Structure 1
Amino acid sequence: MPWIILAFLVLIIQIMAIIITEYRRPDKAVAWVMILFMIPLVGFLPYYFIAKRYTRHRILSQNEYNQRESFKAELIYRCNQRIPANGLAETVSKNKKLQHIVQNKLNLPITACNETTVYAESEHAFKAMLESIAAAKHHIHLEFYIIRDDELGIQFKQLLIQKAQEGVYVRLLYDGIGSRRLGKAFIKQLREAGVEIGCFSPPLVTFFQRQLNYRNHRKIVVVDGKIGFLGGLNIGDEYLGKDPSFGYWRDTHFSMKGDAVLWIQYTFLTDWYVVKGQLLTDSSYVPVQESHGRDIVQIVKSGPDETILELIFTLIISAKQRIYIETPYFIPDPGVLLAIKTAVMGGVDVRIIIPGTPDKKLVYNCSLSYVQELLQAGVRFYCYQQGFLHAKVLISDDLACSGSTNMDLRSFCDQFELNAVFFDRKIVNRLTDDFFTDLSVSNEIVQSEFEKRPPQQKMKEVFARLLSPFF
């Protein structure tokens, strides 16, 4: 009996510790308390190792801080000199809430004089990346969540080795959790050729630092500081549609020339310092941009210390006519969920495309748990049928936001992401055309039919939704 009383007291203490720590996120608190009841006492161990609030891996010294801020201020000044006389795009200027967010809450400035290329076909995106890397003269910077030792990964590896042997500075960052299957031999060959390599979240180190939940989900390529790539693609054969379990892989990726590249580069250099402790502020990494394009773009870096949630929320509540969303995972924050409901009830055309074939069944069931209540509110849902949908796009009237961020809690709050906000109709129209192309190969979810799904499926969705703060 004393052991039972002691165990009960320990359980109570654990529950109180979770409630006190997570009171700002009641959804997460409820999920962890549920885990405790399912796995009494032992359930606190994963909470201890996973749920610790993010703390910076490396703190800048005062001198380093001053140097980085001076470097950033110089880049901002250069970008501001190239903003057109009429300032922000008309769409933003009309919306005071959105204008306040993009000018004051986001940590990187709006840039002009950009040339943007949109890739809806992975093969074209990888071809452009490899051609740019092959043409590099001074440096190549790469940062990916997943790198595989497969046909595509070997192609990148061999080219990076070749460029390093030619005397080009080559730096590669990868996430230790996302690339946990990447063999030591792959890394060793790159290092021996002169490629500098950093691992953002080494699994063992991250485990003991209790930071396993915080992953670098960015996908970056910068060549000579003059061309930058970002979007949803990692390096692996499945992203070329070579995995038979997924088939055709539908993604959205971008290449850019112009001042936006400075901030893709800045993001890489910031991450490089976090991992390697090297503060790179030489002007050769941020050359004067030669592009005189007309695209106005804002690069948005986000993470557990600088959330993108405010921007997503504002883009949704600001819409007057349309909201189009494509995402492989749809697990909205309560505020975003309410914003979507409010928008559609106000007459906004809200359409959301999710995969028809899931890659993670538990996460997919969680996504489906939101479908019925949003269908009832008037949102139109579609399931993509041509393969696997991995594109991450939000179109709000005449603005678009796309990059590495999924429409889920992990991307909003726990992962390091990189996105771009597009203010020009040319790019927004292209993304809209791609959306409707995807719509043409998707099946709409009909509410009356969806409500007939089996009870066991509904239970799976309920269970998955309770666990959603962990996804």
Structure 2
Amino acid sequence: MSTFMWVVNAIFILNIILAVVTVFREKRDIAATWAWLLVLVLLPIIGFIIYLFFGKKISREKIFDIKTQESIGMKELVIAQKEMLLDDELLSSKQSTENTKEIASLFLESDESIVTKGNKIDLFIDGNKKFDSLIHDIQQAQHHVHMLYYTIHQDDLGKRILAALEERAAAGVEVLVIYDAMGSRSTKHRFFNHLESLGGRAEPFFGSHWTIINLRLNYRNHRKIVVIDGKIGYVGGFNVGDEYLGKDKKFGYWRDTHLRIQGNAVLALQSRFIMDWNAAVDKHRLDYQEEYFPIIPNKGKSNMQIVSSGPDSEQQQIKKGYIKMISMAKKSIYIQSPYFIPDDSVLDAITIAAMSGIDVRIMIPNKPDHPFVYRATTYYAGEMVAAGAKVYIYDNGFLHAKTVVIDGEVASVGTANFDFRSFKLNFEVNAFIYDPAIAQQLQKIYEDDIKKCYLLTEEIIENQSSWMKFKQEFSRLLSPIL
């Protein structure tokens, strides 16, 4: 054998050894382990560079720092609610069943997420209406505006939002903004210079002193939270950018779902924001203030829990909530998600429901914003069709909503997609709503969306090209790390 071949073989063997050692140094699930081994073995050197940025788990020190930010003002209430739930005193009889009580118990135990009552919910499915409402509410702020978005672009919408924040900061209102370092990578921090000169503050989540080198960019704060005076809260799928108003020709109309909340659920959003703020900053951390957690009279009739999940916890709270909802369905399961890449546990739950005769409907976009992710999504869409579910392809722009509705009784709206990233790698937040009126409203919106879809059939799947099927199969292999 020539010297060249000896060298090639030696490099190949060394690469495999290093790949095995690298991946097994950190505890991760089997699917992710095999996916990273595939990348490291097939892409020598380049694979290790990719792993350096995207594969390393978040440091234990940083996890501890986030986990020790206590849910301000919530600890004692969680203990009391667990007792009330056992005594059937927590949820009203009109809006609770044994199933909803079990979901509430799951989140009290896994996330210490309190059940809030008497909330008023306004639903937004159009970006223009959502952001007009948000800007109006910001302009009315008297004490504080706390804002967290995965993406804040420095375009026309970003400037409109910033102008409203600057006006309030100039009036003496506390303005705090968190933006994700990866999701807002095209936005320079100097975009917020004037806001900070007026007394506001803007902080990147998991940012880096070196823009190009950020070894934590795989752990993204995908949450979208706004809290105004502790009385009004926003949570859902819309980010800040012109494309979310349907102004990007590539995506066209942007179909999303967002909530405007008045009531005690806002206090849970406030608690989440404060924890994220304190994790993002080195100085100027927030402490409890009465103005952050005002006493709020009932504004409506909706019960809900605000549930968070992320790499700071092994619980995968939102994923477990999805599984619980799916497993309790008796009639129907309506799912909307731009990325549908379920892990085995979620896939099994949906498959069992579909094969049991439950009306399972899944809606995904007709175009990718991330090619590998979309091809993996279409692979699993095919699996769902084979299991008997109805898969709808939204054909009126881009579908970005993350909603689940079960039996027209219980619903979830938030930031978490049906994929590995949302379940394990991203910091996410969802509202789980125990109000048949809201669930049925969301179900009606879903049914209206179906009119703008085409049904994915076995015939369409069979007629896909061999190249398309290969891309789907290959993307599925990478799905645990996409």
> TM-score interval w.r.t. the shorter chain?
over 0.9
Is residue 71–residue 271 contact of structure 2 (8 Å, CA) maintained in 1? no
User: In structure 2, how many angstroms separate the alpha carbons of the residues matched to 1:299 and 1:292?
Assistant: 17
Are 2:30 and 1:26 aligned?
yes
Counterparts in 2 of 1:325-340, with a 5 A limit?
A: 325-340=335-350
AA partner of residue 248 (structure 1)? Y
Choose 33-42 or 409-418, whichever is displaced more.
Answer: 33-42
1:111 to 98, 103, 116: 116
User: In structure 1, how many angstroms separate the alpha carbons of the residues matched to 2:259 and 2:335?
Assistant: 17
Counterparts in 2 of 1:205-354, with a 5 A limit?
A: 210-277=215-282, 278-306=285-313, 307=316, 308-354=318-364
Deviation at 1:17, TM superposition (A): 1.8
**Per-residue deviation, residues 185-219 of structure 1 (Å, max 9, x unmatched):** 31212212221111102145698673221000111
User: In structure 2, how many angstroms separate the alpha carbons of the residues matched to 1:23 and 1:76?
Assistant: 31
Deviation at 1:68, TM superposition (A): 3.8
**3-state DSSP of counterpart to 2:125:** strand
AA partner of residue 293 (structure 1)? G
Are 2:427 and 1:431 aligned?
no
Identity %: 36
1:405 to 411, 416, 420: 416
Partner of 2:90: 87
Are 2:169 and 1:158 aligned?
no
Is residue 213–residue 414 contact of structure 1 (8 Å, CA) maintained in 2? yes
User: In structure 2, how many angstroms separate the alpha carbons of the residues matched to 1:367 and 1:419?
Assistant: 21
**3-state DSSP of counterpart to 1:347:** coil
Choose 73-82 or 402-411, whichever is displaced more.
Answer: 73-82
Taking only aligned residues, the RMSD between alpha carbons, in angstroms, comes to 2.6
User: In structure 2, how many angstroms separate the alpha carbons of the residues matched to 1:57 and 1:349?
Assistant: 43
1:373 to 383, 390, 401: 383
Partner of 1:388: 398
User: In structure 1, how many angstroms separate the alpha carbons of the residues matched to 2:186 and 2:479?
Assistant: 25
User: In structure 1, how many angstroms separate the alpha carbons of the residues matched to 2:111 and 2:308?
Assistant: 8
Unaligned 5+ runs, structure 2: none
Deviation at 1:139, TM superposition (A): 0.6
Deviation at 1:470, TM superposition (A): 2.3
Are 2:18 and 1:14 aligned?
yes
Decide whether aligned partners of structure 1 residues 444 and 74 sit closer, same or farther in structure 2, where only a CA change above 3 A counts: same
Is residue 89–residue 424 contact of structure 1 (8 Å, CA) maintained in 2? no
Partner of 1:73: 75
Is residue 301–residue 416 contact of structure 1 (8 Å, CA) maintained in 2? yes
| Alignment TM-score, normalising by the size of structure 1 | 0.93
User: In structure 2, how many angstroms separate the alpha carbons of the residues matched to 1:72 and 1:107?
Assistant: 8
AA partner of residue 302 (structure 1)? S
User: In structure 1, how many angstroms separate the alpha carbons of the residues matched to 2:480 and 2:88?
Assistant: 45
AA partner of residue 426 (structure 1)? A
2:461 to 440, 446, 450: 450
Is residue 18–residue 29 contact of structure 1 (8 Å, CA) maintained in 2? no
Deviation at 1:53, TM superposition (A): 1.9
Decide whether aligned partners of structure 1 residues 72 and 34 sit closer, same or farther in structure 2, where only a CA change above 3 A counts: same
Decide whether aligned partners of structure 1 residues 207 and 109 sit closer, same or farther in structure 2, where only a CA change above 3 A counts: farther
Deviation at 1:99, TM superposition (A): 4.8
Partner of 2:53: 49
Partner of 1:414: 425
Is residue 82–residue 112 contact of structure 1 (8 Å, CA) maintained in 2? no
AA partner of residue 318 (structure 1)? M
Deviation at 1:23, TM superposition (A): 6.4
**Per-residue deviation, residues 250-300 of structure 1 (Å, max 9, x unmatched):** 110001111100010001000110012403211111111133421101101
User: In structure 2, how many angstroms separate the alpha carbons of the residues matched to 1:85 and 1:317?
Assistant: 22
Deviation at 1:85, TM superposition (A): 7.4
User: In structure 2, how many angstroms separate the alpha carbons of the residues matched to 1:22 and 1:335?
Assistant: 22
AA partner of residue 58 (structure 2)? Y
User: In structure 2, how many angstroms separate the alpha carbons of the residues matched to 1:213 and 1:198?
Assistant: 18
**Per-residue deviation, residues 333-353 of structure 1 (Å, max 9, x unmatched):** 111011111111111110001
User: In structure 1, how many angstroms separate the alpha carbons of the residues matched to 2:370 and 2:46?
Assistant: 25
Partner of 1:359: 369
Is residue 255–residue 401 contact of structure 2 (8 Å, CA) maintained in 1? yes
Decide whether aligned partners of structure 1 residues 75 and 258 sit closer, same or farther in structure 2, where only a CA change above 3 A counts: farther
Aligned length: 468
AA partner of residue 158 (structure 1)? A
User: In structure 2, how many angstroms separate the alpha carbons of the residues matched to 1:253 and 1:12?
Assistant: 46
Is residue 372–residue 451 contact of structure 1 (8 Å, CA) maintained in 2? no
User: In structure 1, how many angstroms separate the alpha carbons of the residues matched to 2:355 and 2:249?
Assistant: 41
Deviation at 1:50, TM superposition (A): 2.1
**3-state DSSP of counterpart to 1:113:** strand
AA partner of residue 171 (structure 1)? L
Unaligned 5+ runs, structure 1: none
**3-state DSSP of counterpart to 1:467:** helix
User: In structure 2, how many angstroms separate the alpha carbons of the residues matched to 1:92 and 1:304?
Assistant: 31
User: In structure 1, how many angstroms separate the alpha carbons of the residues matched to 2:63 and 2:365?
Assistant: 38
User: In structure 2, how many angstroms separate the alpha carbons of the residues matched to 1:420 and 1:70?
Assistant: 19
